Amino acid sequence: MAKTHQPMEWSSVTLQEPLSGGLQSVSLTQRIALNRNYMLKLKTANLLQNHYQQAGLWNPSHQPQDCHWGWESPTSQVRGQFLGHWLSAAARTFATTDDAELKGKADFIISELGRCQRENGGEWVGSVPAEYLEWIVRGKRVWATHYVLHKTLMGLYEMFEIGQNEQALEILERWAKWFHRWTARFSREQMDDILDVETGGMLEVWANLYGVTGKQEHLDLIERYTRPRLFDRLLAGEDVLTNRHANTTIPEIHGAARAWEVTGEQRWRDIVEAYWRCAVTERGYFCTGGQTNNEMWCPPQELAGQLGPLNQEFCTVYNMMRLAHYLFSWTGDASYADYYERNLYNGILAQQNSGTGMVTYYLPLEAGGKKTWGSETNHFWCCHGTLVQAYSSHGRDIYFATDDGLVVSQYIPSRLDWHYHDVAVTAQLDSKTPSLGALSPQQGKWRDRKQLAFTLDIDCAQPVEFELKIRLPWWLAGEPVIEINGERQHVPYAPSSFYAVRRTWQHDHVRIIFPKELTSVALPDAPDTVAFMDGPIVLAGLCDHPHTLYGSKDQPETIFTSHNERRWDQQWRTGYQTQRQEQSIRFLPLCDVVDERYTLYFPVQERA
């Protein structure tokens, strides 16, 4: 089905330096470089170890000294899941950066998977035995076999679709024949029983494959991997998520989303929209955007009792952002882009170590929480794989094309080479813009506020008319300033919407200033317990328990003063210190916290 907002080609967007200016002190490009270096550092033989073992190509007679451990251990029932993520990440990185070294490594891995498939008889290429699926049929306990297989299947698909590797599609199609034959044995009820054991994104894989081939056997797999026990209840308006494992269902909804795109059947879209209502709109979320505790969906609007050491599994953050991407591309609704932005800063960036590049499985939201970082080769949690995939995907959500023109959805320094009439757009954050007090002296109460200042330079080979839509974010604190070639536009104060301007463009400079301020975000069931945000950034208090703060929760400036707010190069920092409190507490962006203990939610009382 046609999308109202079409994502740009992977190769058309290049990220620029820096992601800063009061939003993030460590650049996104540096984070991506950490990710890329980690991917290259992992030995190819070790990435393939479990596929080799299954194909009889790796059989150490003693405990191997040089291999991947943790979830990738040769004895783990989910061994091999990481490689699929790695292949997806390699394909996306190559498409974005033309990284020949990573592409060569990925192409060799695909050729070795082809060798494993031949050794396995010409179809099976899993990192675990097919007998694991038979265990599910028999009701024998086994850990998420479909989830593991999906990762390799999706890696193959993305190496073909994004990474330009034709062999990957050949391997995928041969393997799909095995699944088509195997699933033909079962009735609908039997398939439902099988799919009650975590299926990951199998439905999305088959929808992707059908979108390429149009073959009936791949449409059959879409129908066989549907989830009526979940989908029908969602369509009936039931809350089927509370206290249910979150990341079991999100990839299944990705499958419904992709099935709608390739079949056009309205029911698939209805399922996706019903899920979003149940998971987000009606449930609510923490200040960070996260919604889980110990991997389970929290009850709707009941979050105060859910703060703990195991909140916000990284995989759920990324997968819900992917779901928001689907919905935004269909609707152009700014609320989905706002959700994406909140989770980018307070999930994806907050859960990667800015020094080592490693991931924390959970993001603790309890008082005195501390991030626990994974290792390079001894953990390989599911979140390790999600990490490498997430950090190869940032350029995909900045710009979208519509029938009328161009949409700027996220404020990330970047360059777009848009094939539409040879249009180039360079986007930069401007951290040296003067205060809004200087710009708007009549708005005196804004004098001390910082702002997000952003520039777009639009260059066209020939004059071309199109509409430019600029997202006005949810955290907007006052009337925005948008200038085109120095001429100020009339832009209403309308958070979570878009401002559109249609004109003939050629060599034009667009300057954007969004006022932002400190705000408090209360727990829905504990309105006097709040977290603090600076624009889209959650602030973390560097303390090990929730001190009561005195002041007005609706006026955080009564509680905070800026701390170390300017750098030598005149860029704004995002840091604060409490004032007139029983104990002085320093607050940093949550995404800048590495090993410090921190607290997000604080009880606030008015001063006597």
According to the model, what pLDDT value does residue 217 have?
98
The 10s digit of each residue's pLDDT in 216-251 is: 999 999 999 999 999 999 999 999 999 999 999 999
Q: Is 331 left (phi over 0), alpha (psi -120 to 50) or beta?
A: alpha
Answer yes or no: is pLDDT of 447 > 60: no
With CA atoms as reference, report the closest residue to 599 among 364, 344, 362, 285: 364
Report how far apart, in Å, the C-alpha atoms of 195 and of each of 222, 285, 315 are. 13, 28, 20
* DSSP designation for 174: H
Q: Tell me if 467 sits within 8 A of 329, measured CB to CB.
A: no
Q: Is 98 left (phi over 0), alpha (psi -120 to 50) or beta?
A: left
The 10s digit of each residue's pLDDT in 551-601 is: 999 999 899 987 766 554 445 567 899 988 888 999 999 999 999 999 999
pTM comes to: 0.94
With CA atoms as reference, report the closest residue to 555 among 480, 496, 606, 479: 606
Q: Tell me if 255 sits within 8 A of 203, measured CB to CB.
A: yes
According to the model, what pLDDT value does residue 571 have?
54
Amino acid at 556: P
Q: Count other C-beta atoms under 10 Å from residue 198's C-beta.
A: 21
Tell me the C-alpha distance between 204 and 221, whole Å.
Answer: 10
- The CA-CA-CA angle for residues 68, 72, 78, to 5°, reads 175
Q: Count other C-beta atoms under 10 Å from residue 575's C-beta.
A: 19
Position 20 confidence tier, pLDDT thresholds 50, 70, 90: very low
Q: Per residue, what are the HEC states of 33-61? A: HHHHHHHHHCCHHHHCHHHHHHCCCCCCC
Q: Tell me if 578 sits within 8 A of 518, measured CB to CB.
A: no
The 10s digit of each residue's pLDDT in 467-484 is: 999 999 999 999 999 999
Residue 549 parent element (H or E): strand 549-550
Answer yes or no: is pLDDT of 58 > 90: no
The 10s digit of each residue's pLDDT in 277-312 is: 999 999 999 999 999 999 999 999 999 999 999 999
According to the model, what pLDDT value does residue 565 have?
60
* Segment 374-400 mean pLDDT: 95
Tell me the C-alpha distance between 326 and 568, whole Å.
Answer: 41
* Segment 367-378 mean pLDDT: 96
With CA atoms as reference, report the closest residue to 312 among 286, 275, 340: 286
* Segment 160-181 mean pLDDT: 98
* DSSP designation for 29: H
**Locus of tokens 């994502």:** 7
Assign a CATH topology to domain 401-515.
Answer: Immunoglobulin-like (2.60.40)
The 10s digit of each residue's pLDDT in 405-436 is: 999 999 999 999 999 889 999 999 876 554 44
* Segment 109-128 mean pLDDT: 98
Tell me the C-alpha distance between 551 and 605, whole Å.
Answer: 6
According to the model, what pLDDT value does residue 446 have?
36
Give the residue extent of every domain in the chain.
401-515, 518-605
